Amino acid sequence: MTSALHLQPRHRQLIEDLARQHLPGIEIWAYGSRVNGQSHDGSDLDLVLRGPGLAETPSLQLGEFEEALRDSTLPFLVEVHDWARLPERFHRQIEREYAVMVNAISGGKT
């Protein structure tokens, strides 16, 4: 895990607010170029949702969150994946370098 996340504070706050509204109790990890330092202003943001007990995130909640992100003022694409629906090999890849955006226990940022 890393604490580095290349994201403007206002964009991070918007994503956290949308997550609290649409995904209560779900932890969100960022991974990819915005975590590993290889991003630029237009890079997409890769997120993975980790539900309680690593159960699948309900499709309705996932869809509503994705729609809210698309309708937001974020100037970049956000790719959202559900941990429970990803292959194990992808889990290992994400676990090498990620940043916790929203902590499921507190419902807030870390």
Residue that is written with structure tokens 């630029």 in the block: 40
- Kindly report, residue by residue over 17-63, the tens digit of the pLDDT: 999 999 999 999 999 999 998 998 889 999 999 998 999 999 999 99
DSSP 56-84: PPPHHHHHHHHHHHHHS--SS-EEEEEGG
Task: State how far the Cα of 65 lies from the Cα of 86, in Å rounded to an integer.
Answer: 18
* Percent of the chain surpassing pLDDT 70: 91
- Name beta bridge partners: 82: 49
Q: What local confidence, expressed as pLDDT, does residue 43 receive? A: 92
Q: Is the pLDDT of residue 93 over 70?
A: yes
What domains does the chain contain, in order, with CATH numbers? 9-102 (3.30.460.10)
Q: Is the pLDDT of residue 108 over 50?
A: no
Q: What local confidence, expressed as pLDDT, does residue 54 receive? A: 93
Pair of tokens at residue 101: 């955006």
Q: What local confidence, expressed as pLDDT, does residue 4 receive? A: 81
Pair of tokens at residue 52: 């309680």
With beta carbons less than 8 A apart as the criterion, state whether 105 and 51 touch: no
Q: Is the pLDDT of residue 110 over 60?
A: no
Task: State how far the Cα of 76 lies from the Cα of 78, in Å rounded to an integer.
Answer: 7
Q: What local confidence, expressed as pLDDT, does residue 40 receive? A: 87
Mean pLDDT across 62-75? 96
With beta carbons less than 8 A apart as the criterion, state whether 83 and 10 touch: no
